[in-house]
Amino acid sequence: MILAQLAAAVPSSPLELILASSGVTLSVLAVLAVLSLLSWAVMLSKWRTFREVERTGEAFHQEFSGCRSFGEAEGLLLVRGEEGAHARILKRAVRFLDDLRTGSRTGAGTAAGALTASQVEALRLVLDAETNAERDRLGTYIPFLAMVGSVSPLLGLLGTVLGVISAFLGVARGGSGNLAAVAPGVAEALVATAFALAVAIPAYFGYNIFAARLNRLDGELDAFGTEVIALIAREGRL
């Protein structure tokens, strides 16, 4: 009779086990659920952002590669607009040269059209700063995925330890130490670990994927800045 009552009290599915969990386990699972929703929202948002940036950047770079002069490259900004990381880097170079021409007219710049070595270095630094700004903008919330991937297992372990403690305290209060009395509490505690791994693994994969894409895009933007300077050099301005 007692064994039948114990068997009836044991949850028959993971969902029933979760619903029958203690308050401590449910609190840990609730925190993990929030982290999971936030991490998936970040991953979906970054997937859309990177897809758009890569598509726009590839199209802009192809047209830029066909430009024979810097004036033609400036015309791309009028035709395609200034949306996209590549376009903003080119716009920053155009603004830098416009500032130099303005300084030349007021007597603060060089009289010749060619740039001095210090001005070329300044242009390189300006384009590097713009590239870093684009990287920072695109990299927003990516470290959050790494945080979820590293913190979730610890939260799951915390829930497991507290659940096991609660299970053994219940056994001590009930005075029964058989497997049927201990197993439900231990299983409930292990649910927190399993749920934590289900949260951490996608977040960890997402972080590595988007970090790699961000590094690749950073290299492409740095190379594009070099191409801009090379296009200026072909016109004899360097």
Which carries the bigger pLDDT value, residue 103 or residue 164?
A: 164
Using an 8 Å Cβ cutoff, are 231 and 194 in contact?
no
Q: Which of 22, 32, 26, 27 is nearest to 197 (CA)?
A: 32
C-alpha to C-alpha distance for 20 and 26, rounded to whole angstroms: 9
| pLDDT tens-digit readout, 65-95 | 888 888 888 888 877 766 788 999 999 998 9
Residue 3's pLDDT band, with cuts at 50, 70 and 90, is very low
What are the structure tokens assigned to 76, written together? 């791309």
User: Worst-scoring range by mean pLDDT, 37-46, 65-74, 161-170, 193-202?
Assistant: 161-170
Residue 152's pLDDT band, with cuts at 50, 70 and 90, is very high
Residue 119 neighbours by CB under 8 Å, 6+ apart: 100, 110
What's the DSSP call for residue 29? H
User: Worst-scoring range by mean pLDDT, 19-28, 119-128, 152-161?
Assistant: 19-28
Which carries the bigger pLDDT value, residue 118 or residue 17?
A: 118
Using an 8 Å Cβ cutoff, are 227 and 62 in contact?
no
Residue 105 is predicted with a pLDDT of 56
